[in-house]
A and B are shown apart, each in its own frame.
Chain A
Amino acid sequence: GAGVSQTPSNKVTEKGKYVELRCDPISGHTALYWYRQSLGQGPEFLIYFQGTGAADDSGLPNDRFFAVRPEGSVSTLKIQRTERGDSAVYLCASSLASGRGETQYFGPGTRLLVL
Chain B
Amino acid sequence: LAKTTQPISMDSYEGQEVNITCSHNNIATNDYITWYQQFPSQGPRFIIQGYKTKVTNEVASLFIPADRKSSTLSLPRVSLSDTAVYYCLVAEGLTGGGNKLTFGTGTQLKVEL
Taking beta carbons and an 8 Å cutoff, which residues of A are in contact with B? Answer: 4, 31, 33, 35, 40-45, 48, 50, 53, 55-56, 59, 91, 93, 95, 98-109
| Docked pose: A72 CA to B91 CA in angstroms | 23
Taking beta carbons and an 8 Å cutoff, which residues of B are in contact with A? Answer: 30-32, 34, 36, 41-46, 49, 51, 87, 91, 93-106
Is B46's CB under 8 angstroms from A105's CB? yes
Is B98's CB under 8 angstroms from A33's CB? yes
Residues of B within 8 A of A100 (CB): 30-32, 91, 93, 99
Q: List 11 A-B contacts (CB under 8 A).
A: A33-B98, A42-B105, A48-B94, A93-B43, A95-B99, A100-B93, A101-B32, A101-B91, A102-B98, A103-B34, A103-B49
A56 touching B95 in the complex, CB below 8 Å, given contacts A44-B103, A101-B32, A101-B49: yes
Residues of B within 8 A of A102 (CB): 98-99
Residue of A nearest to B95 (CB): A56
Residues of B within 8 A of A107 (CB): 43
Measured CB to CB, the closest approach of chain A to B76, in angstroms, equals: 22
Is B42's CB under 8 angstroms from A108's CB? yes
Is A50's CB under 8 angstroms from B103's CB? no
Residue of A nearest to B32 (CB): A101
Is A45's CB under 8 angstroms from B51's CB? no
